[in-house]
Amino acid sequence: MSSHEILYLLCCYLLGSVPFGYLIVYFSEGRDIRATGSGNIGATNVLRSKGRLAGLATLALDILKGALPVLYGRIHFDLPWLALLGGLAVLLGHVFPVFLRFRGGKGVAALVGVFLVYHWPSLLAFLAVFFAVLALTRYVSLGSLLGTTALFFSILFSQPVEAAMAAFAMLLLIVFRHRGNVSRLLAGSERKFAFRKDG
């Protein structure tokens, strides 16, 4: 692997580590979003604790931090799957951010950004399953898990094996970060989504 490729992956991880949800809440209210609600730094928890605008801003910024590095990788490297490896590095940064002592988000919005650039048909599979599950159950976590699974199978049957391996690693990472949600889903105590600020 060349020095350019190594530097690319490192920068992808560092960009992924930028905690936009945390920063939005901290600089606007001076508090730690991780002490509120689910304790997650992602868009859903920001929306629930601070409101629609902050939640949508977090979502947009997290999608961008997944999309821009993959766009760079597609332009500058001959192997398309190397750009997807950069996307995996972004997800690792988002989930285990060096700037927050490796306590980060769940990676779903960044995943959307990655596949928006890398392979949009697989993103359509994700979105179709995600919104269908959300409409039927109002569980964001279940929609995220099933949507990511659909995305993986879309990549598995349409892209090189290296890309499928990277997508599988992303699926495992997102399942790992949703393990608490899975436990609550099985116990019937998972919180349902409402597009409004709590209180």
Give the rounded percent of residues in the chain with a pLDDT score beyond 90: 73
Helical segments of 77-119, H only: 80-95, 108-118
CA-nearest of 157, 174, 146, 93 to 119 is: 157
Tokens 């604790």 correspond to 49
CA distances to 92, 137, 147, 149, 199 from 185, in Å: 25, 11, 16, 17, 24
What are the pLDDT digits (tens) for 30-46? 888 888 877 788 888 89
Residue 196 has pLDDT above 60, yes or no: no
Residue 171 has pLDDT above 50, yes or no: yes
Q: How confident is the model at residue 197 (pLDDT cuts 50, 70, 90)?
A: low
Residue 199 has pLDDT above 60, yes or no: no
Q: Find how far residue 165's CA is from the centre of its chain.
A: 17
End-to-end CA distance of the chain: 52
Query: What is the rounded CA–CA span in Å between residue 59 and residue 121?
Result: 20
What are the pLDDT digits (tens) for 147-170? 999 999 999 999 999 999 999 999
Q: What is the mean pLDDT of residues 64-87?
A: 93
The contacts of residue 59 (CB under 8 Å, 6+ apart) are 43, 109
Q: How confident is the model at residue 50 (pLDDT cuts 50, 70, 90)?
A: confident
User: Hey, what are 37's tokens?
Assistant: 């609600």
Angle at 190 between CA 186 and CA 192, to 5 degrees: 135
User: Hey, what are 89's tokens?
Assistant: 């590095």
**pTM for the complete prediction?**
0.90
Strands (E), the chain: none
Residues, the chain: 199
